[in-house]
A and B are shown apart, each in its own frame.
Chain A
Amino acid sequence: MALPIISWRNFGRNAGAVITSSSTAAGAAAANVKDLRSFTLWIAGSTTSPQSLDFDLGAGGDNADHLLMVNMNAVALGAQIKIYADTSFPPTAVAQGLYTPVSDAVDYKGFTAPGVKRYWRVEFQKGGGFSAAPYVGVCQLGLQTNMSEYVAPSVDPYMADIDAMSPKSIGGHFLGALLRGTKRRGTLSFGGDVGVVRSDFTEINLWLKNRARRREPWGLVLDSADSDFSAARWLKVPDDQDTPLMPVGGSYGRFLLSVPFEEAMMEAP
């Protein structure tokens, strides 16, 4: 078992950060991977291996301990991914060795943070070249939030719902079904009856203030050590919901955290 992870820091969105790529298809710029929209894509301009996304974070640099990618085709292509971080360009120090992603919808990979670096590279590799140009909708590198509590037992770990319509005929027979896709919507609760430890408050408030309450999407992994619940999700707070910031410095040692969510992309059922 592993504790839940929230992926929300994205140093590609830092002021002055410049994202480039080894090659780019016309109209599919590398900068598209930082706008949090799963449907605006960076598409490589070539099928030769490797292809890469390069982040120049400026003199200040930044650190990361995970990579979250949304709406890509690395799995379909049979590609592997490698992450570099360095103080000079091109980066050659390996932050994460070659690994095989597991999902083209939302893929999470945690690694040991190498420290603050200016240059980062996400590299796609495939022996013999790719059968089609690699593409990515969102590429999020940064420091994740590690929750110190499990989700409450009331949280449905599958969270999946499928909108469907299946009319019947005048004669009473089933005619067919139209599905709208998988829709995840619910409420995340942490800590159950005993609440969330106070030491998490600062980190949680940063996430709520800088991402969730702004209706910007974020990644969630319920349990990275459990094959059933390790799938990463790309979620957002619904428009008609809200969640208050947690008070800090009060007399309470533990609080119950409750965050409503809906999926920020529609996946096929």
Chain B
Amino acid sequence: MTLYDSQLAEVSRVRQEIVTIGVRYCENWYSVPVDQGLESTDDLFVPDWTPTAGTTVTASYAAGPRPGSTNATKLAFAVAGTDHINPFAGSFNGQTANQAFTFTVFLRTDSGSGTVTLRLATGSGSVDKQVTVTTTWTRFQMHFKAGGADATITPSIRREAGDLAAVVAWGANLSKNPGAVDADVVFPYVTAPHGKALDPSVRVSKCTAADAGDGKRCYYSFPTCQDPAHFNSGNSFEQTLNGIREYKFCRSDAPLPLPGVEVWPLLESMDYSPQEIVPDQAFTRNERTNVVFLDMDAPVVWDPQKQAQGALINTASAGRFWRRFVPIFKNYANPDGYVMVKQGFVAAGYTEALYSLRRKLVAANIVLGADNRATLTCADRLHLLRSKVPAKLSDTNVLQADMTNSQTYMDVTNANEFTPAALNATGSSPDYVVTAMIDTEEVNITGLDPVVANRLIITRGRWGTTAATHAKATAISEVWECGTERSTPNLTPLGKNPITFLIEGMMRAGLAATEIDSAGLASERDTWLRSAVDPVAGTSSGVLFRRTITQQTDYETLFQEIREITLLFMWINEAQQVTGKLFAPARPTDVLYELTDGANFVKDSLSVDDQDQFRITQVLVAWSLKVGADGSKPEDFAYNRTRVAGDEESTGYYNQHRVKAILSQWLPVASGPIVDSTSQHYLDRFKHGARLVTATVEIKDDVVQLGAFVNVTTSTIATAAGAPDGPRIMQVVKKTPQPNGNIELKMLDTGIFKRYWFWAPSGTPAYDSQTPAQRRYASWATRVSAIRGIVGAQGDDAYYWW
């Protein structure tokens, strides 16, 4: 149990929230170019690096810390006190007298931990630093100031007494400290290829702006940058120096949250319009949050961290905080930045890491109010799905040279217009495939040539097409292929599980792999939407979709079409990952949190909406688009099927026809089974309306998460005889924190009354001895009192297949 959970369970506690705004920040030192003197810095390439005789170097041993890099080097040292590796560092020769240098390198072990020694040596002396290396990539640094007579500086990675015999290394830099500061002065890592030491392109600080003097310097933001070509966003894979500056705020009406941490109590209120799962529209309403801040005098020093390092800053203290923040960070809506909301309590032992991250949002707008307040409007990360796919290329973006039918690159007018090809974290396979079409051939783009501008690295004859020659000036377009390529790519592609390419699509839209609950989505897929594809044999089975997107469409629209046919709910969970559930019974492993009138629902807060307006009696599914049709009406499709709720349409019941039409361009011809199950599930779900319960709970019930299943028992939902009709399994579709600390839950009755079949774990006892939790797994029906289809001595309902 975390400290947050234990505080939540306390009877009385003091709530506090921390809002962190991350904005793009420059990692340069203003007006100070800083040289880097090593080469072959990624892979410690021999002979640019020189190992001793007893040092064994294994090149391309493993992935480096930078996503996509596969060129980390293993160093095995035979003899302690002797063996080491050092780079050629002669580029600084003659420039070292009375200068200070900082050496950095990323290190890790294969297993366990131990020490490694780093050394910086000049002609007259040296200094060692022993660092402790673990299995996690860590960037280590050390510095040394040369004497007046020193003419060289040489770093090395060594095995000294007590050190490890082997270590994995990547990414070494040696930089000259500005102002000869005798301290570690660390900049973001730069890659310097062979022959590029001291090249301006590999400087660790690149700002060449002339110093405009105090008060006229930049504020290390892009809008105030005086050398935009060299703005330094750092490296996303470094924990610090990642090009982000954070500002932290907390509630003004509560004690400061963290002892010894500067958190400004300017947060006056937060107005949440949280995510809402809207199942009948296969849609999740985006979150918008308005955060109201008090304004006050700006800090004494705007860039104190830079000042502490020794970099040039503006020292004038003037103006109000938010009035200055807006012009300095006019780009606050850059999606690389963020607004994080963390919730916790004021209690002994709290650190920021123990606060519970509840929202990671994108800043959208700031309003400076007349009442000396600033209102920051934020949207959730699903907002990114409003971008369009495939990338639109200019008419003038054409082939720049004739192409043979075998060359593995193509020169284009502007490579930046294509969707960036992405490798996953291990660098072994792409997170998503980027495909371009030239004439009738499709090619997959695997990367950008590091040397030749606007040259794309490609593989030929993909997605069932054949490699061909193409003439200079041929037009190019990008397409999004949703499917599975055959092992022989010029054979007709197969379909793909819709959840799999939803995940790929999200990454293509800009969400990081860490922002997607891939495991949770895969579990839903493998439980309710199973499929199999054999790209070698060309066989497939189960639920598979196939489509080629050629016209620009936003991801959200495409995803909505997929969610509609699969009944998939998607949202951002409280771990700040996009996750989802298919409409299906709660699994026995789902913990059903009990919510009751007595223990949970705040007095006078519960209401029940029957939502009869969303009731349907027929489901029409049309699929397999006819050639030349636009897909806007059922007759545009080759197949359609209608399922009717006959009883509900009858004169004595509702006496109405309400049709739900699903027109799907995603389903291949052989989609009868999913059409049958989808239409049946829609009718099960909506033929009597989808009841919504809205109620407020105390903060102790904060453990109930958006999207979770809960067991609701309330006297407001009663049987015809007046007894409470429950517990009923409901899904939380909206969770709204209230200004007073309570939480409003909106819960959708799943309408699933029957018990469904789940295989019970080995060792589950016979039905009559089972706990209620065990009875959520299936047991065989037996004959009791000569009646079929009931279970156990009590004659409980039997189990059904979903």
A178 touches B740 (CB 8 A): yes
B599 at the interface (CB under 8 A from A): yes
**Interface stretch among B297-305, B550-558, B787-795?**
B297-305
Please report the C-alpha to C-alpha distance between residue A176 and residue B602 in the assembled complex, in whole angstroms: 11
Quick one: which of B588-636 are within 8 Å of A by CB? 596-606
A170 touches B260 (CB 8 A): no
- CB-contact partner of B603 in A135, A163, A165, A168, under 8 A: A168
Shortest C-beta distance, B129 to chain A (Å), equals 19
Interface string of A248-269 (1 = CB under 8 A from B): 0000000000000000011111
B260 touches A172 (CB 8 A): no
A28 at the interface (CB under 8 A from B): yes
Q: Which residues of A contact B299 (CB under 8 A)?
A: 40
Q: Which residues of A contact B601 (CB under 8 A)?
A: 169-170
Quick one: which of B685-712 are within 8 Å of A by CB? 696-700
A167 touches B304 (CB 8 A): no
B305 touches A171 (CB 8 A): no
A139 at the interface (CB under 8 A from B): no
Interface centre among B14, B300, B596, B600 (most CB of A within 10 A): B14
**Interface stretch among B115-123, B261-269, B331-339, B506-514?**
B261-269
Q: Which residues of B contact A221 (CB under 8 A)?
A: none
B15 touches A178 (CB 8 A): yes
A57 at the interface (CB under 8 A from B): no
A43 at the interface (CB under 8 A from B): yes
Please report the C-alpha to C-alpha distance between residue A175 and residue B12 in the assembled complex, in whole angstroms: 10
**Interface stretch among A29-37, A108-116, A117-125, A230-238?**
A29-37
Q: Which residues of A contact B754 (CB under 8 A)?
A: none
Please report the C-alpha to C-alpha distance between residue A176 and residue B696 in the assembled complex, in whole angstroms: 13
Q: Which residues of B contact A171 (CB under 8 A)?
A: 596-599
**Interface stretch among B56-64, B145-153, B249-257, B571-579?**
B249-257
A24 at the interface (CB under 8 A from B): yes
Shortest C-beta distance, A268 to chain B (Å), equals 4
A28 touches B262 (CB 8 A): yes
- CB-contact partner of B599 in A32, A165, A173, under 8 A: A173
A43 touches B602 (CB 8 A): no
B599 touches A268 (CB 8 A): no
Closest to A76 in B: B259
Please report the C-alpha to C-alpha distance between residue A35 and residue B699 in the assembled complex, in whole angstroms: 36
Closest to A167 in B: B602
A132 touches B597 (CB 8 A): no
A178 touches B13 (CB 8 A): yes
A68 at the interface (CB under 8 A from B): no
Closest to B265 in A: A39
Quick one: which of A174-200 are within 8 Å of B by CB? 175-181
Please report the C-alpha to C-alpha distance between residue A24 and residue B266 in the assembled complex, in whole angstroms: 25
Q: Which residues of A contact B308 (CB under 8 A)?
A: 24-27, 29
Shortest C-beta distance, B696 to chain A (Å), equals 8
B698 touches A27 (CB 8 A): no
A41 at the interface (CB under 8 A from B): yes
A41 touches B698 (CB 8 A): no
A38 at the interface (CB under 8 A from B): yes
Shortest C-beta distance, B767 to chain A (Å), equals 33
A172 touches B603 (CB 8 A): yes
B254 touches A176 (CB 8 A): no
A1 at the interface (CB under 8 A from B): no
Shortest C-beta distance, A181 to chain B (Å), equals 5
A39 touches B256 (CB 8 A): yes
A179 touches B598 (CB 8 A): no
Interface string of A11-52 (1 = CB under 8 A from B): 000000000000011111101100100111101000000000
Please report the C-alpha to C-alpha distance between residue A269 and residue B345 in the assembled complex, in whole angstroms: 12
B contacts with A: majority SS: loop
The answer to whether A266 and B256 touch (CB under 8 A), given A171-B597, A178-B15, A180-B14, is yes
Please report the C-alpha to C-alpha distance between residue A132 and residue B597 in the assembled complex, in whole angstroms: 48
B262 touches A39 (CB 8 A): yes
- CB-contact partner of A165 in B260, B300, B600, B741, under 8 A: B741
Q: Which residues of B contact A269 (CB under 8 A)?
A: 14
Please report the C-alpha to C-alpha distance between residue A27 and residue B253 in the assembled complex, in whole angstroms: 25
A133 at the interface (CB under 8 A from B): yes
Q: Which residues of B contact A144 (CB under 8 A)?
A: none
The answer to whether A169 and B600 touch (CB under 8 A), given A26-B305, A38-B256, is yes
A7 at the interface (CB under 8 A from B): no
Closest to A24 in B: B308
B742 touches A167 (CB 8 A): yes
The answer to whether A176 and B12 touch (CB under 8 A), given A26-B305, A29-B301, A169-B602, is yes
A94 at the interface (CB under 8 A from B): no
A146 at the interface (CB under 8 A from B): no
Quick one: which of B455-506 are within 8 Å of A by CB? none
A73 at the interface (CB under 8 A from B): yes
B667 at the interface (CB under 8 A from A): no
A164 at the interface (CB under 8 A from B): yes
B677 at the interface (CB under 8 A from A): no
Q: Which residues of B contact A172 (CB under 8 A)?
A: 603
Q: Which residues of A contact B698 (CB under 8 A)?
A: 167, 175-176
Closest to A183 in B: B253
B11 at the interface (CB under 8 A from A): yes
- CB-contact partner of A29 in B260, B304, B604, B715, under 8 A: B304
Please report the C-alpha to C-alpha distance between residue A31 and residue B315 in the assembled complex, in whole angstroms: 12
B301 touches A175 (CB 8 A): no
B597 touches A41 (CB 8 A): no
B260 touches A133 (CB 8 A): yes
A176 touches B699 (CB 8 A): yes
Interface string of B4-39 (1 = CB under 8 A from A): 000000111111000000000000000000000000
Q: Which residues of A contact B263 (CB under 8 A)?
A: 39
- CB-contact partner of B741 in A38, A76, A173, A178, under 8 A: A178
- CB-contact partner of A181 in B14, B262, B605, B696, under 8 A: B14
Q: Which residues of A contact B12 (CB under 8 A)?
A: 164, 166, 176-179
Closest to A43 in B: B260
B262 touches A176 (CB 8 A): no
A224 at the interface (CB under 8 A from B): no
Closest to B602 in A: A167
Please report the C-alpha to C-alpha distance between residue A176 and residue B12 in the assembled complex, in whole angstroms: 6
B396 at the interface (CB under 8 A from A): no
B307 at the interface (CB under 8 A from A): yes
Q: Which residues of B contact A25 (CB under 8 A)?
A: 308
Closest to A170 in B: B597
- CB-contact partner of B699 in A41, A173, A178, under 8 A: A178
A41 touches B260 (CB 8 A): yes
A140 at the interface (CB under 8 A from B): no
A71 at the interface (CB under 8 A from B): yes
Shortest C-beta distance, A51 to chain B (Å), equals 13
Shortest C-beta distance, A6 to chain B (Å), equals 24
The answer to whether A181 and B255 touch (CB under 8 A), given A39-B264, A167-B742, A169-B598, is yes
Q: Which residues of A contact B597 (CB under 8 A)?
A: 169-171
Please report the C-alpha to C-alpha distance between residue A265 and residue B254 in the assembled complex, in whole angstroms: 9
B346 at the interface (CB under 8 A from A): yes
A27 touches B262 (CB 8 A): yes
B539 at the interface (CB under 8 A from A): no
- CB-contact partner of A27 in B255, B260, B304, B598, under 8 A: B304
Please report the C-alpha to C-alpha distance between residue A172 and residue B598 in the assembled complex, in whole angstroms: 7
Shortest C-beta distance, A215 to chain B (Å), equals 11
Please report the C-alpha to C-alpha distance between residue A35 and residue B297 in the assembled complex, in whole angstroms: 10
* 19 interchain pairs, CB-CB under 8 A: A27-B308, A29-B300, A29-B307, A39-B263, A40-B299, A40-B300, A43-B260, A76-B259, A133-B260, A135-B260, A167-B742, A169-B603, A170-B601, A171-B598, A171-B599, A172-B603, A176-B10, A178-B12, A266-B253
Beyond A165-B742, A166-B12, A176-B12: 19 further Cβ-contacts under 8 Å? Answer: A24-B308, A29-B304, A39-B264, A40-B299, A41-B260, A41-B262, A135-B259, A169-B598, A170-B604, A170-B605, A171-B599, A175-B602, A175-B700, A177-B11, A177-B12, A178-B15, A179-B15, A180-B14, A266-B256
Binding site for B on A (CB under 8 A): 24-29, 31-32, 35, 38-41, 43, 71, 73, 76, 104, 132-133, 135, 163-173, 175-181, 265-269
Q: Report, nearest first, the 5 A-B pairs whose CB atoms are least far apart.
A: A171-B598, A177-B12, A175-B698, A26-B308, A170-B597
